[in-house]
Structure formats: C-alpha cells, structure tokens
Structure 1
Amino acid sequence: MAVSLIVAELFLLATSSLSIIFGIINVVSVNTVDMEEIKASGGDFDENEGLVDENEDENEDRIDPRRRETVDQKKYELMLRLHSKIAAGANSFLFQEYAYMLVFIVVFGAIIGFLAETKLGEVWTVIAFVLGAVISIISGFLGMRIAVAANVRTTKECSISLSRGFVVAYKAGSVLGFCLVGLALLFLTLLIMIYRRVYLPDKESTENPEEYLMMFEKIAGYGLGGSSIALFGRVGGGIYTKAADVGADLAGKVVKGLPEDDVRNPGTIADNVGDNVGDIAGMGSDLFGSLAESSCAALVVSGTSEQLVLNTGAFYYPLCITGIGVVVCLITWVFATSQEACCKINRFSDVERVIKYQLVISTVLLIPALFAVAFFVLPPTFSFTGIDHEVTHIEVFVCSLCGLISGFLIGIVTEYYTSNEYRPVQELADSCKKGAAPNIIKGLALGYMSCVVPIFCLAITIYVSFTLAGMYGIAVAALGMLSNLCIALAIDGYGPIADNAGGIAEMCDLQLTRIRTDKLDAAGNTTAAIGKGFAIGSACLVSLALYGAFATRANLSVVNVLEPLQFAGLVVGAMLPYAFSAMTMRAVGTAAEAMIDEIARQDREGLIREGVEPDYARCIAISTESSLREMIAPGLLVIVSPIACGLLFGPKGVAGLLAGAIVSGIQMAISASNTGGAWDNAKKYIEANKLQPDILNERDEEGNTIVVRHGKGTETHKAAVVGDTVGDPLKDTSGPALNILIKLMAIISLVFASSF
C-alpha cells in the first residue's frame, strides 16, 4: 500500500523545515564566535588540545599545535578591515549581478508566458519559474553571506587551535548545505500542494492522470528558474574569481615574486571575493538547479503512471528521497563536529579523514534509508506509459542505490586523479622539472584519462536504471546521487572559507595561523575535487532524466539518430560545449589581461611596496565589470540554442541537439575539472617541498655534490604555477559551467516542448 497524501506532505514539510532550522542554528553559532578572545591570547597552551603532526618528513613544517598565536591590536584591526573589504566586494558584485538577473527573470518570464503556457494569459509555468529563480538567489546569497562572516572567524579560531578553526568553517559550510536543500524542498512541496488544489480544483480532474501530467509540466518551471540563476552564478562568478586569481598570480607571484595572498598584491582581495561569489554562491545555485530539475523530471514521468498519482501520495517519492537525505545528513553531521564522536581530530592529517568520513558515513546510512522510503512510499507494483512491464518498488530502490554508489565511486576516482597523495599528480609535479610544456602536456593527458572510469560508472547506472524503470529510474538515480547533498554542499562550502581564512592570515602576517589554515585548505582542496566529480555525475543523470521528460511531453517514443534531422542535431549539439567553453575561457583571459594591466600600473606608481596599501577597490571593480559583461554571450548561447532549434526543426531536431550536447559536455566537464585540479595540487606538492631534489654527478667549486632543489621560487615551481594558472579557468569556470549548459538546455526543452 502506497503512502497517503497527507502523510507524504507532512513528512516533506517536517524534514524541509528541520533542514532550514538547523541551518539557522549554525548561522547563530558562527556569528556568536567571540572575536575579542584572541587579543587576550598570549601564546598560552590550550589544555583541551592534543594534536600531533604524524608526518615524519623532515621537510614538513612541524609546529606545536597547542600553542596560541599572539595577535596584537594592529593585526586584529587589519583582520577586521580586510574582512570588511572582502564582504563589501562580494556584496557589490552580487547586487550588480542580481540586477542583471532581475531583468532576465522579467524578460524570460514573458517569453515563457507567450510560448510555453497552454493558453495565452495563463501563468502557471511563469509562477513556478519565478519562484525557482528567487529561491535559488536567496539560497546562494545566504551561503555567501555566512561564508564571508565565517572567514575572519575561522582565522581567529585557527590562531587558537586547528580543531576550533575546522568546526567554524564546517558549520559555515553547513549553512549553505542545509538551508539550500531545505528551501528547495520546502517551496517545491508547497508549490505542488497549492497547484494540486488550484490547478486541479475539482474531483474529476484529480482522478485523471493526464491532468497530473499537465500540472507537473507546469511545475517544471521551478527547475528552469533554479538552473537559469545557476547559469549566471557559475559563469559570472567563475569569470570573476578566475580573472582575479590568474591576474594576481601572474602579476604578483610570477612577475613580482610576491608570496600567495601577499597584502602588497592589489589583486588579493578580488581573489578572495571571487572564492565567495564563484565557489559558494555559484556552486550553491548550480546544485540547487540539479536538485530541482531532477525532482521535476521525476514528477513529469510519474504523471504517466496512474498508480503513482491517483488517490495516493506516491508521486511525492522523488521529494521523499531528498527528505530522508536531510535526516541522514543531520546524523552524519554530528560525527564531524562533536568532540566525543568517532571523528575527533587528534592529528593534522585527521582533518581530511574527518571530511571523507562524512561522505562515507552518509553513503552507508542512506542505503537502508532509501530502501525504507521506497518500501513505505511507493506501491508494490506500478507501470508507466511506454514501458512494457510493471515496475516494483524494489527495482526503484535499486535505481536510487545505483545513483548513490555511482556518485561515491566517481568521487573516489576524481580524488585519485587530482590529489597529490597519489601517483598521477606526483608524476605531474615531477614533469615540472623539465619546464611548463611537459606539465601542460601531461596535465591534459591526465584529464582525458580521468574520464574513463566515471563514464563507465554513469553508463552502468543508466543501463540498470533504464532497464528497471525507464526514464523514471534515471531520474531516481540522479536523486539517489544527490541524496546526501546537505553534506556534499557543506564540504564544498568549507573549502573556500578555509582558503579565505588563510588569505587573511597571510595578509596579517600570522604565520602559525597560516600553517593551520593551510592544513584546512589542503583537506578542502582534495574534497572539493570529489565534490566537483559528484556535481558532474549528477548533472549527467539529471540532464538524461530531463531528456526523458522532454521525450514524454513531446510524445517521442523513439529517437533515431540515423534519421537526417536527428543526426544533424547530434553533431551540432556536440559542438555547443566547445563553443561555450571557448567563450568562457576567452572571457577569463580578457578579464585577466585587464587585471594584469591594473596591477602593473599600480606597480609603476609605487603602490606595491611595504607600508603602502594598494588600490584593492579598482581590481574588484575590474573583475566585477568584466565578469558581468562577458557572461552575457555564453548565457545567450545556452538559452537560445534549444528554443531556436525547436521552433525551426521541431522536437526531433531538439532530441538530436540535446543528445549531442550531453554526451560531449560530460566528457569535457570531467577532463577540464580534473586537469585543472591536478595542476593546482601539483603546484601545492612542490610548494610543500615534497618533490625529491636531484643529485647531479657534478661538483661545485668547493668539491661538494650539486643538489638541485625544487621548492618555492625555483624554476620548477614557476612551471607549476604556469600550469595552475592555465588550469584555473578550466576547473573553476568552464568545467563547472558545462554542467549548467547540459542541464539548462534540457530543462528549457522540457518547458518549451509544447511550442515546438
């Protein structure tokens, strides 16, 4: 017996509200950190700290982690001043970006009302679109604000102890994770409840499955709104952060020889601002879109099953997966932040272990949880239009399990190819001894090779899910992969916060604190790569689920790629990710050139020297103006392509276009993200003095054997910085934005299918 309507709705309202409340609790916890505490810390020992550095490498920094760092009044005031500059820069960019978004929402909402509504004058899809866009904006903005508030507090806590710094950064990341998922789930549930009572007001319509299908097609606008905002967040934020990063790296580190995050570098504040607008707000809106789109795709397909929509709440099953995921993530979260839990930090290396355990624990706990949801929410058997066999609730559970396990495996493989603990990145670092060219060549090869295992994981998941439950199975697999999204977002949000905290520590000359923030940042870099693999894998399944929903709405039972129209669309679709990547890469290059010119101007005017504050505001303005200007063309490409193709060539042309874009875009996204991540960690491997020195068969004038070391400031390090700089737009702009390309094209095709 399937779950009743009222029970399903109460469960979803309860879990989504719980998620939001928990996020608010973490907001309060972060904001109540006492900043005045450090002014009284005169190098004391904390009796509650017993951290030990287990690394015996003589080149590794070995410090006493129990010692507090003295922060005098001057450094304390500088910390607060730098924090306020980062906050002001982030707010300035986001409010200007939101002005562009507001214009887009109004214009595109009018287009939806004219082309996508069943009757002229209806606004069902428009309302859903606007709601999805607004909630996506709010979610990203909340995450960004708490991240900005947390960066200086993480710096302060790290001046006292490593574990205290970790807890603050992770709690701040948790605000993004739990608030975003809670808001997305709550408002989608409310939208369905309201539409069911308004769009289907009479008893006759509520007993007609076709009416439910039409209602779910209108609600799909919610996913379109979320994904549209993600486009601007990922592209605009990505261009901003990488223009600042590349400009600051080349002009500051390579040309001027300044350390990373040096207070004399004018681009440093813009770089730190970019971490918040790109890696927090942009990433949040990206995964908000994935969650909303996969839920909407599953709802549309469920509208073709009488057993799921008539006199039952079983059609809420896709949302219940997210709801039970919130409960599991709450339980998992305790293991990372409770000193009594099994994930207590006792050594420096435990930071990365604790974060990884979050993914492992949540994955393990979700297996029985997903089974319970399938067993209690779905009927024992049901059928879909277009599938010649009955589907069981156990088969649907297997689909969600495939998505969950596939996402975990993709994350592990991504870590192997991008972490400097493993051979691929270590070999990449070694190639830097021969110069930048071998580093670039091997880095590209590494990215291409890293596609193999994730694609097989996705292929197996797609085959099993489609065989068992058709397109509904693929949508459920996508939701299974996203079921621990609260934890995944918390981990992803933690990384940029730790990075910002390290930047503030460096600019305030807090050397002990900087070592601790580097420990946090290093763990965040590794897990961020896992998060990117997770995001790309889910994007593939989400877009395929939307593809199935589009085929359902357009009445396409067969897509034959051997027909001329579909084949031509396939080839053109495969080209679009390349055109999109070219636009975003070029945009970063153009903006970075402007940043380099500005830093050079300030150098000529004597602003880059000790005791003089550079013009940070001008660099922030350059990044803001460039990113907002350059994001328009890639955005138009994504939005206009499926609509134009559909109006000119009909649903069959769009079917080919989407297939080509999905297949091509996924491969490019994986290779771009992993190549950039590997170059970044190869540079960090060299900076940590882990690359073995070369002992030459030659002697110097004094008769000593010549030893060539490869640490910071060497030619090897400069070659690694070049690779890292090239990889920055790959891993943080083009790669992540390709997720949006394939998802947004698919959801646009679904929403506008009736007009093709």
Structure 2
Amino acid sequence: MDIMFWALIGAVIALVFAAVAASGVLKKSEGSEKIKKIAGAIRRGANAYLKRQYKTVAIFFVIVTIVLAILAATGFMTFFVPIAFIVGGVFSALAGFIGMKIATAANSRTVTGATKSLNSALRVSFSSGAVMGMTVVGLGLLYLTIWYFILNAYFAGDTAQIASNMLMFGMGASCMALFARVGGGIFTKAADVGADLVGKVEAGIPEDDPRNPATIADNVGDNVGDVAGMGADLYESYVGSIISAGALAVAAGLGGGGLALPMVLAALGIVASVIGSFFVKTKENASQKNLLSALHKGVYIAAAIVAVAGYFLVTGILGPDHVGVYVAILSGLVAGIIIGYYTEYVTSDHFKPTKDLAESTVTGPATTIISGIALGMKSTAVPVIVVVASVLISYFASGGTLGSGSFEVGLYGVAISAVGMLSTLGITLATDAYGPVADNAGGLAEMSGQDPVVRERTDALDSLGNTTAATGKGFAIGSAALTALALIAAFADQCQIDMSALSLLDPTVLMGLLIGAMLPFLFSSMTMSAVGKAAMKIVVEVRRQFREIKGIMTGEGEPDYESCVDICTKGALHLMLAPAILGFVAPIIVGLILGANGVVGMLGGATATGFVLAVMMSNSGGAWDNAKKYIEGGAHGGKGSEAHKAAVVGDTVGDPFKDTSGPSLNILIKLMSMVAVVFAAVIVQYGILQ
C-alpha cells in the first residue's frame, strides 16, 4: 500500500472525531428560552457576516483565478494551479465556517453546563474547540492527500513534478486566511473597543451588560474573528508547512519518502491529538492553575506520543541514515512548547510580568500603555532565540553545511521542524478555540441574568482562554517564521538561485530587504487604522442610543443591537480589502522591478520584522487584557476604580494588537512567500533588474 494512504487515513480519523465531538456538543441542553434567544441573535449575526464576507472575497478569487488561468494557458504554470487556488480557498473558508457554526452552538450549552459544574462547562467548550482543531487538520490533510493522488496519477509518479505543483497549492488558503483574519479582526475589535469605551468607561456598566447596544456585536465578533478567522489562519499554516517541506525534500534528493514524511507525520499528530484530548478534564472549584494544567496535560501527552513515534516514522520512511531529520522534528516540537509556555508566563496574571503591568495602571492610562508596549518588546527576545536555536539544530542535524553542497538537506530539516511544531495542532488549536466559546458563554450568562456562580465559572474559563489564546498565537507565529523560511528557500529553488551565494552587497537584495522590513509596519498601520475607524462609528452609535432611547439604562428600553452588528459588518468588509490586497501584490510588484534576488531580500526582511512585530503585539495585547481581568478580580481597587479605567484603556489598545494586526502578520509573511512561488516564472522572465 502507498504510504500516503496513511496520511489519508489520518485525515479521515480527524474528520470523524470532529463529527462525533460535534454531535456530543449538540446533544447538550441549550438552556432557557432567554438563553436560546440571545444565542440565536449571535448566531444570526455571525452567519450574516460570513455570508457577506464570502461574497466579497469571491470577487477577488474570480479575478485572480482568471489571471492564473491566463498564465497557465501561456505556459507559466499548469492548469492545476488555478483549480487548486479555488479549492484551497474554499477549504480554508470551510474550516473557519465549521468552527464558527459549532462555536455559536456551544456558547449556550456552555452556560447550561456552567449551571451544573465547572467541569461540565469546560468539557462542552473544549469539545467545541476540538471540533475546530480536528476540522482544520482533517480538511488540510485531506486537501493535500487528494491532490497528491491526482498529481501522482497524472505525472506517473514523478516526484519532482508532484512537489513543484503542490508547492503552488497553498496560495488560495493563504488569501482566504488573510481576508478572514483581517476582516474578522476588524469586526470583533471595533465592537469590543466601542462597547468597552462607552459601556465600561463612560456609562460604568459591566461587560456584556444587556443595556449596552454593542454587546451582541461584541459576541458576534468573537466568533467571526477569533473562531472563523483563526480556523482559516491555522488551516493555511498547516497546509503551508507541509507543502514547503515536501517541495524541499525533493530538492534535497530525498524523493518520494521525503515528500511523504510531512504528511504521514501530520497523520501521526492527529492520532496523538485525539488521544490527548481524552485527558482534558478538571474538578469543581478548580483554580486557574488547575484548569491550565488540565489543558496542558492533553497537549503534553500528544506531544510525547509524536516525540516517541516520530523516531520510528523517520527511520522507517527515510532509513536510519536520516535520524537527524527526527532531531529536526523534535526541535520544532520542543520549540513550540517552549514558545507556548513563555507566552503563558508573559501574558498570564499568575506571573510577575502581567502583575507588574496591572500595578502600572494605578498611575493612569499613560503608564499603562508605556508598560504594556515595553513588556511586548521585551517578550520578543525568548521566541526569537528559540526559533533561531530550532533553525540551527534542524539545519545541521539534518545534514546541512555552511557550503552549498548540502544546503537543501539542511533547509528540509528547517521545513520539517515547522511540521513538527504544528503536528499536534489538532489539540493545540482546541485549547485556543475554546476561549471564544467561554467568552460568549460569559456574555450569555450576564445578559440572561444567571446566578452569579455561573458567571464566575464562565469567567474562570474565559480568563484561562485569554492565556491559551495568547499561547496559540505565539505558537502560530513561531511556526509561521519557520514555514516562511522554508518557502523562501523553495522560491529560490524555483528560480534556480544559489541561496548561499546571495549577498547584501547586491543592491537588489538590499533594496528588497528594506522594502520587506517596512511592509509589516505598513500592514499593521492599515489594520490598526481600520479598527480605529470602525470603532469610532460604534462609539458614536452607542452614545446615540444611550442618549435617544428612553429607558435604556433602567432596562425598560430595548437597545438596537442590529445597528451595531451592521456597522461592524460594513466597516470590516470595506476596510479589510486594502491590507489584504497589499500582501498579494507586494511580491509581484517587487519581483517585476527588482527581479528574483530582490524578492528573496523582500521576503527575508518581511519575515524578520513580521515575526518580531507579531510576537510583540500579541504579547502586549494579551498582557493588557489579563491585567484588566486581574484588577476586575479585586486588585488595585477592583472594578470601577481609576486603575480599572486605565486598564480598560490599555485593553482597548491591546485589542487590535492581539486580535487583528498581530495574528494577521503571520499570514502576511507566508502569503507573500506563497505568491512569490506561484509567480516565480513570471518574475524570472519579466523582472527588470535580474
């Protein structure tokens, strides 16, 4: 039997597990009619937004597909590429859509579970996250294995042709992911910032208070940004890491075995994630430490299974002479765990950095902002050192040298380390995706007037979700850096560039490097500005409703929730276009002017600054958010104090940092690399400064 059938079996296992987990969630009780009504409003808002988003993105996909078809007709690529572009985009959107559907179904059931026990609420919310995690890895691996079998039949087993074509198949997923992340991020943070600034700071009402007109939009945003956007994002990361490793395997002379290894390793990770998920449970009245330990147990068990079984996988497929490739996988796996743990240390209110940040709120918003930015900047050091160490170990352990002789083998090691880091994505994403469900559950508990103990339980899960979300983002950003490096090498191989001979003294490389280093900052400026513009409209609308709707503050008047949802939807769809298109056209324009060497420089610069900036923004935002929750728990005067108001201001700045710009950057650096790979032949032929 072809070894690739094991990858297909892994994909099927993931999707079957997701279906069973979804069925288990849907069998749980939704609760009272009031809970159902509010949950229904959130579900309708999320569905309406995604429907309009997909229609908008479809126009872009049609235009690009026509361009790709023309290039295929003129011999620059095969006709498989435009087809795969469409299919990849659809699968990426589908991964996010399924995650959103189960999340909007699980929020009410989590509230009902919380009326019984903390463990019941954790099981429901984590199960919904597991549906998302397994759907992402299942669809990703299914997409790749189906294409492998099609190409294998068409090219009669020619691994070079198979790998070359598959390398171009990630662009559709990357484009869809960037639109989903940016659009969803603008929506959720515009609603969140508007709701917090007017509701919590100006009106002095609690978070998720039903009197706040933006509260439904805020809960809708959690689903379209933190669930649907994140699902599309990590689907793209997963697919990108596997195809880049497969392409470099062939370039390194490892043949069909090297091409198959990333996919079979991904299948192993799926089985390990399924096993690990059964160990996630906790006791009633568990502390945050106990809850975090419960999630860690599942992740660490999955990682341990991959670490042990990975050795036999590598030696069985590539032979004992390539045991260094196993070391590369292990280095990626360990690097992911270290980055996740360090991110937790930096952003959790159980540790000194966030507690110190909370203390800075006592002297006002200015010191809160200064301290939060400083924390984020400082927090970049460890992830960068860890990734550098992983690259160093992976490159040399796999057989790479500083000369040109074994350059490709070493780069394959770097690529396979990224696959190792993402191998347990099924359960890692589950621990991340459950957070927005718990957040929504807290809102439902508040708006439906549940017993305070219910809100306490959902808040415990939500606070933990902030930490796991920050950890998940750190994990995704770290893997993005490794994948982007592999894609740069793959682009150079497509263009037949000797990477070891490139020099910063080459003016095209230097110019490309500077442009690439600038692009993440320009992109972040555009996305931050988009959130600010959309949030301003929400602030004006909420103030208007507080002023004009009689009885809204006494609970006698009904807020107009739909208007805020509509404002966020229109703003997100309009403002997401420019930054997303920037990521697509930048490598093409640079390539046509500076040539292939200039593109390598641009991709290198963008990867370096994009990685560091993404870590900084994600960690600053996560720490600001948890510092606010730490104060709301009673520290420094608690809710309503001046310290709390300063913390809310910090959190509103951190919102687009951690949920819009930061996580979108990891897609940006991979999308630009993927676009460069697809248009490599055009760049080589028509680049002005070759």
- TM-score exceeds 0.5: yes
Pair 1:724-2:663 in alignment:
no
Q: CA shift at 1:124, angstroms? A: 1.2
Counterpart in 1 of 2:237?
Answer: 290
SS in 1 for 2:485: helix
Pair 1:611-2:556 in alignment:
yes
1:565-594 Cα distance to aligned partner (Å, 9 max, x none): 100110111000010000000000000000
Counterpart in 1 of 2:401?
Answer: none
TM-score scaled to structure 2, two decimals? 0.94
Q: CA shift at 1:488, angstroms? A: 0.9
Pair 1:426-2:355 in alignment:
yes
Q: CA shift at 1:113, angstroms? A: 2.6
Larger deviation, residues 117-126 vs 246-255: 117-126
Q: CA shift at 1:639, angstroms? A: 0.5
Counterpart in 2 of 1:440?
Answer: 369
Q: CA shift at 1:306, angstroms? A: 4.4
Counterpart in 1 of 2:91?
Answer: 135
Question: Which of 445, 455, 480 matches 2:420?
Answer: 480
Counterpart in 1 of 2:147?
Answer: 191
Counterpart in 1 of 2:466?
Answer: 525
Counterpart in 2 of 1:564?
Answer: 507
Contact 1:113 1:120 in 2 (8 A): no
Larger deviation, residues 548-557 vs 614-623: 548-557
CA–CA separation in structure 1 for the residues paired with 2:84 and 2:284: 45
SS in 2 for 1:220: helix
SS in 1 for 2:530: helix
- Sort the Cα spacing of 1:346 and 1:652 in 2 relative to 1 into closer, same or farther, 3 A: same
TM-score scaled to structure 1, two decimals? 0.86
CA–CA separation in structure 2 for the residues paired with 1:8 and 1:231: 33
Q: CA shift at 1:645, angstroms? A: 1.1
Pair 1:411-2:340 in alignment:
yes
Counterpart in 2 of 1:584?
Answer: 527
1:255-299 Cα distance to aligned partner (Å, 9 max, x none): 111100000000000000000010111111111111111111112
Q: CA shift at 1:121, angstroms? A: 8.8
Letter in 2 for 1:83: A
SS in 2 for 1:614: coil
- Aligned counterparts, 1:227-626, within 5 A: 227-309=174-256, 313-337=257-281, 347-349=286-288, 350-380=290-320, 392-467=321-396, 468=398, 469-510=409-450, 511-558=452-499, 559-606=502-549, 608-609=552-553, 610-626=555-571
Letter in 2 for 1:226: A
- Aligned counterparts, 1:201-220, within 5 A: 201=156, 206=157, 211-220=158-167
- Sort the Cα spacing of 1:570 and 1:253 in 2 relative to 1 into closer, same or farther, 3 A: same
Letter in 2 for 1:286: D
Contact 1:174 1:486 in 2 (8 A): yes
Q: CA shift at 1:344, angstroms? A: 5.5
Counterpart in 1 of 2:670?
Answer: 743
Q: CA shift at 1:105, angstroms? A: 1.5
Q: CA shift at 1:475, angstroms? A: 0.8
CA–CA separation in structure 2 for the residues paired with 1:124 and 1:640: 21
CA–CA separation in structure 2 for the residues paired with 1:423 and 1:348: 18
Q: CA shift at 1:223, angstroms? A: 1.2
Counterpart in 2 of 1:161?
Answer: 117
CA–CA separation in structure 1 for the residues paired with 2:199 and 2:59: 37
Contact 1:141 1:281 in 2 (8 A): yes
CA–CA separation in structure 2 for the residues paired with 1:315 and 1:686: 51
Contact 1:133 1:222 in 2 (8 A): no
Contact 1:295 1:479 in 2 (8 A): yes
Q: CA shift at 1:180, angstroms? A: 1.4
Counterpart in 1 of 2:15?
Answer: 20
Pair 1:711-2:655 in alignment:
no
CA–CA separation in structure 2 for the residues paired with 1:326 and 1:104: 33
Q: CA shift at 1:606, angstroms? A: 2.2
Q: Which runs of 5+ in 1 are unaligned?
A: 1-5, 37-75, 338-342, 381-391, 692-709
Q: CA shift at 1:528, angstroms? A: 1.4
Letter in 2 for 1:119: G
CA–CA separation in structure 2 for the residues paired with 1:258 and 1:226: 41
Contact 2:618 2:658 in 1 (8 A): yes
- Sort the Cα spacing of 1:299 and 1:118 in 2 relative to 1 into closer, same or farther, 3 A: farther
SS in 2 for 1:561: coil
CA–CA separation in structure 1 for the residues paired with 2:168 and 2:130: 27
Counterpart in 1 of 2:102?
Answer: 146
CA–CA separation in structure 1 for the residues paired with 2:565 and 2:211: 15
CA–CA separation in structure 2 for the residues paired with 1:719 and 1:560: 48
CA–CA separation in structure 1 for the residues paired with 2:471 and 2:299: 10
- Sort the Cα spacing of 1:418 and 1:118 in 2 relative to 1 into closer, same or farther, 3 A: farther
Counterpart in 2 of 1:34?
Answer: 29
Larger deviation, residues 618-627 vs 456-465: 456-465
1:89-115 Cα distance to aligned partner (Å, 9 max, x none): 000100000011211221111222334
- Sort the Cα spacing of 1:367 and 1:117 in 2 relative to 1 into closer, same or farther, 3 A: farther
Question: Which of 606, 611, 628 matches 1:666?
Answer: 611
Q: CA shift at 1:222, angstroms? A: 2.4
SS in 1 for 2:251: coil
CA–CA separation in structure 1 for the residues paired with 2:542 and 2:221: 17
CA–CA separation in structure 2 for the residues paired with 1:302 and 1:166: 41
Larger deviation, residues 122-131 vs 490-499: 122-131
- Sort the Cα spacing of 1:471 and 1:121 in 2 relative to 1 into closer, same or farther, 3 A: closer
Letter in 2 for 1:750: V
Question: Which of 602, 613, 623 matches 1:678?
Answer: 623
Letter in 2 for 1:181: V
Question: Which of 664, 680, 690 matches 1:753?
Answer: 680
CA–CA separation in structure 1 for the residues paired with 2:605 and 2:371: 28
Letter in 2 for 1:583: M
Letter in 1 for 2:141: L
CA–CA separation in structure 1 for the residues paired with 2:42 and 2:435: 16
Question: Which of 591, 599, 609 matches 1:646?
Answer: 591
- Sort the Cα spacing of 1:116 and 1:396 in 2 relative to 1 into closer, same or farther, 3 A: farther
Larger deviation, residues 530-539 vs 356-365: 356-365
Contact 2:245 2:262 in 1 (8 A): yes
Letter in 1 for 2:383: P
Q: Which runs of 5+ in 2 are unaligned?
A: 399-408, 684-690
CA RMSD of superposed structures (Å):
1.5
Counterpart in 2 of 1:705?
Answer: none
Letter in 1 for 2:13: L
Identical counterparts, % of pairs: 44
- Sort the Cα spacing of 1:410 and 1:117 in 2 relative to 1 into closer, same or farther, 3 A: farther
Letter in 2 for 1:442: S
Q: CA shift at 1:520, angstroms? A: 1.1
CA–CA separation in structure 2 for the residues paired with 1:221 and 1:25: 33
SS in 1 for 2:278: helix
Q: CA shift at 1:77, angstroms? A: 2.1
Counterpart in 2 of 1:68?
Answer: none
